[in-house]
Amino acid sequence: MSLKEKIKAASDLPFEKVTVPQWGCDVLVRGMSAGARSWWVRHVEMLKRREGKDVEQGDVTLTVDFLADYACPLLYRTLFDPETGDRIITSEEDAKDVLLDKSDESVYPLISKALELSGIGPKAEEGIKKDF
């Protein structure tokens, strides 16, 4: 196997099983790939520019728009069935259908874990700044 094939075959995305007591089940939260993370960060920057907000990851208003526009695309890309490894959410629209009617107590821990595992947020930024 060539080095390129080894790199491509490596499973290097972090993941964590998260219990959601309100739903009576566990979900697998997996960090986004570099490509998915890049898309999501550009998506957030575009939305913030459109809304006239500063482009900083910590500057987010926690509203239904936050869930629909920011969190649903994130969770679509990061929630998996821990038994099968399949996506739980099949599209961004499906994410809105499933998650917008759920409680903050069930959804926000998943958002936090998805951001953490994807290297997004203040801790990740501090680590990157130390490296440069």
| pLDDT tens digits for range 60-102 | 444 447 788 889 999 999 999 999 999 999 999 999 999 999 9
Q: What is the pTM of this model?
A: 0.79
Domains of the chain, with CATH numbers? 14-118 (3.30.2220)
CA distance linking residue 70 with residue 88, whole number of Å: 18
* Number of Cβ within a 10 Å radius of residue 1: 7
Query: Nearest 5°: phi and psi at 53?
Result: -95, 160
